[in-house]
Each structure stands twice: as C-alpha cells, then as structure tokens.
Homo-oligomer: A and B are copies of this chain.
C-alpha cells in the first residue's frame, strides 16, 4: 500500500527532517498559504493521537520502553491518526498536512535498533504522500537551533536509551547525527523532495510553494459537495480535534 500512489480525491503533503531543521515552521507557512487560497486544509502531528498518549508518556517516564515497543507504540499512534485524522479528510478531498510521517519511524526506530525492513513492513498500511519534503540541514546548525531554544532535553528525545553518552547534550548530538544519516539514505528510496534547510525561511518557503503549486495543478480549490452539509461534515471532524485536546 505504501509503495503506490493513493486513490483518494484529496492531497497528502508531509514534512520530515531532524529536530531543528525548521520543517514545522515551513509547514505552518504552507498551511497559511493554502488556506488563503481557499483550500480546505487539515493538519496532523506525529505522536499526537489520544489513544496511546498516556501509555507512551508512562513508558517514557518509567524508561521501560524497548526499541520494539517504542516503535510499535508509535506505529499504533500513526495507525489511529491515519484512520481518524488522515484518511477521512483525504477521502473528502481536503489537503492533509502532516508534520512527520512514517519516515520518522524509519530513521529513529532503526537508529534505536529495530530492523530497517521490519519497521518498513510494519508501516505498510500507510498511504503514500503526494509530496514528502525532507528539510536537510547540517548537524551543527540543527543542534545549535535546538540547544539555544530549549530548556532541557528529554531522556528519549536525546536517545539516552541507546547509552551513547552519559551527557544528555552529547547523546542528543550523536543520536541526531545517526538519524540524519538514515534520512539521507531514504532520499532516493522514497523519492523525498530535498529542501536546503540552511536557506532563509522565506527562500525555502518559496521553493516549497512552487513544488506544491505544481502538484496542485488541476486540483480544485473549491469545497465540494460536503460544503452543503457543513454541519454534519464538521461534526465528523470534531472527533479528532477533541481527542487531541
């Protein structure tokens, strides 16, 4: 399923990159631009489903997660969001924007120690995005952005479970470097659209918009038949919205 283009009427655009690559900023800018043009847009974030939120939180707190359970919990989160947040708007002809997608698992989980082909197979139920942007940034720049803007790194975020270093900051650097290598390997494998994340924010956004505009040729900006039953339509989407609260 993940290898072939989906057949839904909507569009799925996703962004990937290591922490500090600026991908979320770019996605927000894309979001505003698409909405300004009248496109119906739905946003979804990695690891945000209500279903496994508590479990992931407790597992992280107790530090009992193994690479496999860590990976499976994220896959469960993803499967839940796919069913309730990604597929419904996609089927309804909306543009779905995802901050991180299966590729995050393919990089992080593999660095944690699961087999590359295993985790790819686990996510086989996923839908192939119409566009997958990879914000490529040199490690020192990303590290600088993260460490200057954040209070404290978390245990799993820094990859402390991998015993790379006793220092949170040092472990984070090594961990992010390993993830970066996995991303680079995936560019060709999945045909990721590489964006130079060292460029100015506006420069990057222009490139992104150009690629998106090309992909949206022939895609209608008009809301479709569901616009006539606005109430029912939004009631359906009230579910995932509330679950994220």
Contacts and interface: CB of A to CB of B under 8 A. Distances in A.
A73 B54 CA distance: 13
A124 interface: yes
Given A51-B55, A54-B54, A69-B79, 10 more contacts: A51-B64, A51-B69, A52-B73, A64-B80, A64-B84, A72-B72, A72-B76, A118-B121, A118-B124, A121-B121
Contacts of A75: 72
B79 A76 contact: no
19 contacts: A51-B59, A52-B52, A54-B54, A64-B80, A66-B83, A68-B82, A69-B76, A69-B80, A72-B72, A72-B76, A72-B79, A72-B122, A73-B76, A114-B125, A115-B124, A118-B125, A121-B122, A121-B124, A122-B122
A142 to B, nearest CB: 30
A66 B75 CA distance: 13
Interface string A98-121: 000000000000000011001001
Nearest to A120: B121
A84 to B, nearest CB: 7
A64 B64 CA distance: 26
A163 to B, nearest CB: 16
A52 B83 CA distance: 19
| Minimum-distance CB pairs A-B, first 6 | A72-B76, A121-B121, A68-B79, A55-B55, A66-B83, A69-B79
Contacts of A72: 72, 75-76, 79, 122
Contacts of A55: 51-52, 54-55
Nearest to A76: B72
Interface in A18-69: 51-52, 54-55, 58-59, 64, 66, 68-69
Contacts of A118: 121, 124-125
A98 to B, nearest CB: 17
Contacts of A54: 54-55
Contact of A83 (B68, B73, B79, B124): B68
A80 B66 contact: yes
A76 B77 CA distance: 12
Contacts of A68: 79, 82-83, 125
Q: Tell me which of A68, A72, A121, A124 has the highest count of chain B C-beta atoms within 10 A of its own C-beta.
A: A72
